[in-house]
Amino acid sequence: MPADLFTDPDARPYAVLVPLPLSGPLDYLSAEPLVPGDFVAVTVSGRETVGVVWGEGTGDVEKLKPVLRKLDLPPMPEAMRGLVDRAARYTLTPPGMMLRQATRAPGLLEAEKPRIVLMRGAGEPETMTDARRRVLDAVAASPGLSAADLAREAGVSGGVVKGLLEAGALESHAAPQDRPPPGLDPGYRIPKLNAEQSEASEAITESIATRKFEALLLDGVTGSGKTETYLEAVAACIAAGRQALILLPEIALTADFIRRVRERFGAPPVEWHSGVTPAARRRAWKAVARGQAQVVAGARSALFLPFSDLALIVVDEEHDQSYKQDDIVPYQARDIAVLRAAQEGCTAVLASATPSLESWINAETGKYRRLTLRERHGPAVLPFLSAIDLRADPPEKGSWLSPELVGATRDVNARGEQALFFLNRRGYAPLTICRKCGWRAGCDQCSAWLVEHRGRGALLCHQCGWREPFPQKCPECGTEDSLAACGPGVERIAEEARERFPLARVEILSSDQTPDPKVLQDQIKSIADGGADIIVGTQIVAKGHNFPLLTLVGVVDADLGLAGGDLRAAERTFQLLNQVAGRAGRAEKPGRAMLQTTMPDHPVLRAILDGDAQRFRTRLSEERQQARMPPYTRLIAVIVQGEDEEKVWQVSRALAAAGSILTDAGIDIFGPAPAPYAMLRNKHRVRMLLRMARRIDHPRLVPAWRDAVKVPSGVRVIFDVDPYSFL
């Protein structure tokens, strides 16, 4: 710190937001003039951290700590700062935690180390050897390589390159640390869109050209060419020199998607997701900030990248659950995407074959413009859907596949085609009990049953990750071989498939069987190429993969999710089944989907079987409206948690007692009550639920309510605005 900073007449206080859970920006002193958006280095509790100037400071100059330095990064644009503030306010999260989403790249604090690259110099070597000639040829062909890369390229040792440098035949130059990402060519391979595809893509392109905020719902059956369509709008962004962001629900989807971008534009997009290395994250972040990244494909956190000229945000599979994750900062990426587009004054496209009820209603009311693709592209036709009534055609005792499904599987396999058994349950069995004494295997830290994973010989808690070896005898009564598996998971269905079809190649496709996304990609590719006859899969099979040989989908338990008390269970089941059914027969072969159920007359199943999405959603929206549930109202889940059960209840009761702050404004309070998972990772959890009209200013009222109660250390009050999980 300059010693005279406090007496420097130019030193002024600035409000700096840091990526930490504080209630607002902190004040720092700087003699160098700063403007809002400037990235700076500051210390917080003795640690150096990146910060962003948020405005003028007010603090007492004498007491302030200095801004260490201004960082050499493009300033955060106003639209982005507005997004951080508004998203933090809406989600009841400290703004610093939102900023953290926006600074999740390593190396922002460090000055860039230039890269030393070699070019041809004016000098000539005294003697020309074969090796030297190869180096000079290589540098002529590709100038700007590092010494090591040039030596490798020419197939010579480092000494040869060094000799040429000394002779002046090569010169070293300092280049920026990171090369810009490869350029994308909007004219590389232009597809022929069909009539409804071009109409939709023109609508998006025109919307982009207005440079005004608009949200569009691209509603089209699986395989109708939604991706094909929005990629043409992306092409228009590239051609206009602007940036596009495409959000995808899962890493498993990206490899296939990257390939399509490459085929369309001749180069891959910039990737942003948890599988990207730290160095690539740093490069990506800076390339986005500098406007060099034309197209970014990423997971939901890509929404917080510092785009300099964002023209289009696409949320693909917009209904997907993974857009709402209950992280440290719970937010719904679809909503943030629309918010960001509003801040930027650009276009948001939400694409899905089964739009969320929220988006569907927004399209009905005209808040979003609807673009519809009715036809599948090419010869693919929607699969024939039918229900198998498990009451009339039950599987044999101790098995899960009904005779009808088994017969159909035999038929398709005999034709060299594939069958998929879908069950959204990982592991072998969801519950293990002792036949002798009735003991059930549960997690000590959570109120959850342990799931048997037979392949690993272990019992796992799917809530906290606890893992223990499968016991040899009952831990309660000591009886050997008394433990029985209850209910099926995918491993158990695969076991049954292997027994019934001994000649078939059976593959399990489940995210936890293959946690490495690369391995999973390879497995998916091998299956798509015909490397399996029967696939047993959890939900990941429902996302974007194309299996041309797959012509039969058997949904093992179509009742799962229909019976639960969860607000979105019916919707989720509808989406999942629709998508799973859409996996079958995407190529030339027509497919069929069979849904095993004990409730063939359930309205959700009927709507799926009839393919009547309109009727399904109309019913659902009427139900929600009558029950005063979202999206007609807003819910906020409140979880009070801590290790000391008594303190947790004290805080909960105090919150309830202070409830008039909310109820006077017309907010309903439900609870407190023990959360469905009353224990999670050794923490006791008590739950409350707030329900309010959508016009109510929850960012003002809810924090005021919380602040009316003294929360002792060791207890946390957590808010989840628009919750999806009710556990």
Q: Measured from the CB of residue 228, what is the shortest distance to ligand ADP in angstroms?
A: 4
Separation of alpha carbons 136 and 131, rounded Å: 9
**Those residues with Cβ within 8 angstroms of residue 191's Cβ, 6 or more apart along the chain or in another chain:** 228, 232, 264
CB nearer ligand ADP, residue 590 or residue 699: 590
Q: Which of 474, 490, 577, 690 binds Zn ion (CB under 5 A)?
A: 474
Q: Which of 8, 476, 512, 668 binds Zn ion (CB under 5 A)?
A: 476
Q: Phi/psi of residue 498, each to 5°?
A: -65, -35
Q: Which of 70, 115, 436, 606 binds Zn ion (CB under 5 A)?
A: 436
Residues that bind ligand ADP (CB under 6 A): 191-194, 197, 220, 222-228, 377
CB nearer Zn ion, residue 466 or residue 726: 466
Q: Measured from the CB of residue 558, what is the shortest distance to ligand ADP in angstroms?
A: 22
Q: Measured from the CB of residue 260, what is the shortest distance to ligand ADP in angstroms?
A: 7
Q: Measured from the CB of residue 719, what is the shortest distance to ligand ADP in angstroms?
A: 35
CB nearer ligand ADP, residue 583 or residue 684: 583
CB nearer ligand ADP, residue 91 or residue 201: 201
Rg, C-alpha atoms of the chain: 29
> Does 369 sit near Zn ion (CB under 5 A)?
no
> Does 432 sit near Zn ion (CB under 5 A)?
no
CB nearer Zn ion, residue 76 or residue 464: 464
Q: Measured from the CB of residue 649, what is the shortest distance to Zn ion in angstroms?
A: 22
**Those residues with Cβ within 8 angstroms of residue 321's Cβ, 6 or more apart along the chain or in another chain:** 572, 724
Per partner kind, with CB cut-offs from 5 to 8 A, the member of ligand ADP, Zn ion, none near residue 476 is Zn ion
**Those residues with Cβ within 8 angstroms of residue 469's Cβ, 6 or more apart along the chain or in another chain:** 457, 458, 459
Q: Phi/psi of residue 237, each to 5°?
A: -60, -45
Per partner kind, with CB cut-offs from 5 to 8 A, the member of ligand ADP, Zn ion, none near residue 298 is none
Separation of alpha carbons 230 and 201, rounded Å: 6
Q: Phi/psi of residue 148, each to 5°?
A: -65, -40
Q: Measured from the CB of residue 249, what is the shortest distance to ligand ADP in angstroms?
A: 13
Per partner kind, with CB cut-offs from 5 to 8 A, the member of ligand ADP, Zn ion, none near residue 222 is ligand ADP
Per partner kind, with CB cut-offs from 5 to 8 A, the member of Zn ion, ligand ADP, none near residue 121 is none
Strand order in the sheet with 65-66: 65-66, 26-30, 12-17, 47-56, 39-44, 69-70
> Does 477 sit near Zn ion (CB under 5 A)?
yes
- Cβ pair 53, 47 in contact under 8 A: no
Q: Measured from the CB of residue 471, what is the shortest distance to Zn ion in angstroms?
A: 10
CB nearer ligand ADP, residue 426 or residue 586: 586
Q: Which residue pairs, CB below 8 angstroms and at least 24 apart, start in 337-343? A: 337/247, 337/303, 337/313, 338/215, 339/83, 339/86, 339/87, 339/90, 340/79, 340/83, 340/303, 340/310, 340/313, 341/213, 341/214, 341/215, 341/310, 341/313, 342/213, 343/79, 343/80, 343/82, 343/83, 343/86
Per partner kind, with CB cut-offs from 5 to 8 A, the member of ligand ADP, Zn ion, none near residue 443 is Zn ion
Q: Measured from the CB of residue 225, what is the shortest distance to ligand ADP in angstroms?
A: 3
> Does 471 sit near Zn ion (CB under 5 A)?
no
Stretch that binds Zn ion, among 12-20, 282-290, 412-420, 436-444 (CB under 5 A): 436-444
Residues 439-468 contacting Zn ion, CB under 5 A = 439, 443, 445-446, 461, 463-464, 466
What is the per-residue DSSP string for 559-602? Answer: TTTTSS--TTHHHHHHHHHHHHHHHTT-SSS--EEEEEES-TT-
Q: Which of 437, 484, 519, 673 binds Zn ion (CB under 5 A)?
A: 437
Q: Measured from the CB of residue 470, what is the shortest distance to Zn ion in angstroms?
A: 14
Tokens of 201: 């893509």
Stretch that binds Zn ion, among 41-49, 260-268, 329-337, 430-438 (CB under 5 A): 430-438
Separation of alpha carbons 425 and 14, rounded Å: 53
Longest dimension (CA), the chain: 92
CB nearer ligand ADP, residue 192 or residue 695: 192
Q: With H, G, I as helix, E, B as strand and everything else as coil, classify residue 283.
A: helix
CB nearer ligand ADP, residue 42 or residue 608: 608
Tokens of 255: 């490899």
CB nearer ligand ADP, residue 57 or residue 225: 225
CA distances from 410 to 176, 323, 355, 403, 627 (A): 61, 38, 34, 11, 46
Q: Measured from the CB of residue 524, what is the shortest distance to ligand ADP in angstroms?
A: 15
Tokens of 26: 């902190």
CB nearer ligand ADP, residue 374 or residue 710: 374
Residue whose C-beta lies closest to ligand ADP: 225
What is the per-residue DSSP string for 111-153? Answer: PPPPEEEEEE-S---SS--HHHHHHHHHHHHS-SB-HHHHHHH
Q: Measured from the CB of residue 318, what is the shortest distance to ligand ADP in angstroms?
A: 12
Q: Measured from the CB of residue 472, what is the shortest distance to Zn ion in angstroms?
A: 12
Separation of alpha carbons 189 and 185, rounded Å: 9
The contact set with Zn ion (CB under 5 A) reads 434, 436-437, 439, 443, 445-446, 461, 463-464, 466, 474, 476-477
